[in-house]
Amino acid sequence: MNKKNRTTFIIALLIPLAVGILSSILSGDMSLYNRINQPSFAPPAILFPIVWTILYLLMGLSSYIIYTSDSPMKETALTTYGIQLFFNFFWSIIFFGFGQYLAAFIWLVVLIVLIIVMVYQFYQIEPLAAYLQIPYLIWCVFAAVLNFAIYRLN
């Protein structure tokens, strides 16, 4: 990997990590998770930063694969990627920062639709980039179920 590609790769990894870190900072008191009523299937709070770090790294890797492709569809796919990152960024602010569990659930449903579109677009360009997003999609579906359960319990 030459220096230009290495720099692009590092930037691609750092963008989603920065989105996640900034969102976490702006979300306020994340310990709220431990103080709200939760369903029996709710994972421990310590699991979230571990899972999200892995998912953000996979997002960055996928975006790098798409960015470095020669596909004429990459601009559209990367635009969808950016829009879903925007939705990803604001979910925790809506949920933790504002305590709006129903609004966060609806926001998350839109995010899931965007992820599905992104996975489809990535698949058209490079299947590996799409496959790397499957854990993210599964996690967000689980998060939506958890979010809705928390809404119902609180």
Domain boundaries, the chain: 3-153
pLDDT at 29: 78
Radius of gyration of the chain from its Cα atoms, rounded to whole angstroms = 16
pLDDT at 34: 87
- What confidence tier does 1 reach under pLDDT thresholds 50, 70, 90? confident
CB distance 109 to 64 below 8 Å: no
Mean pLDDT over 113-137 rounds to: 98
Q: Give the rounded percent of residues in the chain with a pLDDT score beyond 90.
A: 93
- The Cα 124–Cα 138 span in angstroms is 20
The torsion region of residue 64 among left (phi > 0), alpha (psi -120 to 50) and beta comes to alpha
* 6 token code pair: 């290495």
Q: Tell me the CA end-to-end span of the chain in Å, nearest whole number.
A: 51
pLDDT at 84: 98
Residue 32 pLDDT greater than 90, yes or no: no
- What confidence tier does 53 reach under pLDDT thresholds 50, 70, 90? very high
- Rounded to 10 deg, the angle between the 74-92 and 47-67 helix axes is 160
CB distance 89 to 96 below 8 Å: no
Residue 31 pLDDT greater than 90, yes or no: no
CB distance 84 to 123 below 8 Å: no
* The CATH number, out of the four listed (3.10.450.40, 3.30.470.20, 3.40.50.10210, 1.20.1260.100), of the domain defined by the range 3-153: 1.20.1260.100
Stated pTM of the model: 0.96
pLDDT at 103: 98
pLDDT at 3: 84
Residue 76 pLDDT greater than 80, yes or no: yes
Residue 90 pLDDT greater than 80, yes or no: yes
